[in-house]
Amino acid sequence: MQMQIARNVFWLVFERGLQVVFGIVSVAMIARAVGPEGFAEFQYAQSLVLIASAVALICGNEVVIPRLVADQAPAAQHRLLAHVFGLREIAAVVGYLLLVVFVAMTEDDEVIVVIVFITGIPMLFREPFGAVRTWLQARTDSRPAVIFSMVGLAFRMIAVSGLYLAGTDSAPVFAWVVAVESLLFAVLHARYYRKRSPRVAVELDWSLARKLLRDGTVFWASMILMLCAKRIDQLLLKPHISLFELGGYAASMQVLDNFMMLSAIVASSVAPLMIYAQPTLTLVRRNVLYVVAGMVFMGVAGGAVLAYCAPWIVALIYGDHYDAAASLLRLSAMASGLVFADAALSLLVIYLRKPNWLVEKWLLVLGTMILVDLIAIPIHGARGAVYGYIAGNLVAVIAGIGFFIRSREPVAMEQAV
Number of domains in the chain: 2
Would 214 be classed as within a structural domain? no
Q: Do the beta carbons of residue 293 and residue 351 sit within 8 Å?
A: no
Would 151 be classed as within a structural domain? yes
Residue 76 CA to residue 122 CA, distance in Å, equals 28
Q: How far apart are the first and last CA of the chain?
A: 22
My answer on whether 154 and 87 are in the same domain is yes
My answer on whether 249 and 199 are in the same domain is no
Predicted local confidence at residue 61, as pLDDT? 79
Residue 58 CA to residue 44 CA, distance in Å, equals 24
Predicted local confidence at residue 4, as pLDDT? 58
Q: Which of 114, 130, 119 is nearest to 156 (CA)?
A: 119
Residue 342 CA to residue 361 CA, distance in Å, equals 10
Predicted local confidence at residue 414, as pLDDT? 44
Would 176 be classed as within a structural domain? yes
Q: Which of 58, 65, 124 is nearest to 87 (CA)?
A: 58
Residue 377 CA to residue 237 CA, distance in Å, equals 7
DSSP 356-369: HHHHHHHHHHHHHH
Last residue of a domain, one of 204, 234, 258: 204
My answer on whether 189 and 247 are in the same domain is no
My answer on whether 271 and 361 are in the same domain is yes
Residue 396 CA to residue 340 CA, distance in Å, equals 11
Q: Please count the residues of the chain.
A: 417
Predicted local confidence at residue 273, as pLDDT? 74
Residue-range definition of the domain harbouring residue 148: 1-204
My answer on whether 71 and 176 are in the same domain is yes
My answer on whether 11 and 140 are in the same domain is yes
Q: How far does CA 207 lie from the centroid of its chain?
A: 30
My answer on whether 148 and 36 are in the same domain is yes
My answer on whether 176 and 253 are in the same domain is no
Would 271 be classed as within a structural domain? yes
My answer on whether 263 and 155 are in the same domain is no
Would 157 be classed as within a structural domain? yes
Would 231 be classed as within a structural domain? no
My answer on whether 259 and 360 are in the same domain is yes
Last residue of a domain, one of 204, 227, 259: 204
My answer on whether 197 and 246 are in the same domain is no
Q: Per-residue pLDDT tens, the chain, 417 aa: give them.
A: 456 556 656 666 676 777 778 888 888 899 999 999 999 999 999 999 999 998 888 888 778 888 888 888 888 889 999 999 999 999 999 999 999 999 999 988 899 999 999 999 999 999 999 999 888 887 777 788 888 988 998 999 999 999 999 999 999 999 999 999 999 999 999 999 998 888 777 888 888 889 888 888 888 888 899 889 988 999 999 999 988 899 999 999 988 988 888 888 788 777 777 887 788 888 899 999 999 999 999 999 999 999 999 999 998 888 878 888 899 999 999 889 999 999 999 999 888 888 889 899 999 999 999 999 999 999 999 999 999 999 999 999 999 999 999 887 544 444 444
Would 292 be classed as within a structural domain? yes
Would 234 be classed as within a structural domain? no
Predicted local confidence at residue 112, as pLDDT? 93
My answer on whether 196 and 58 are in the same domain is yes
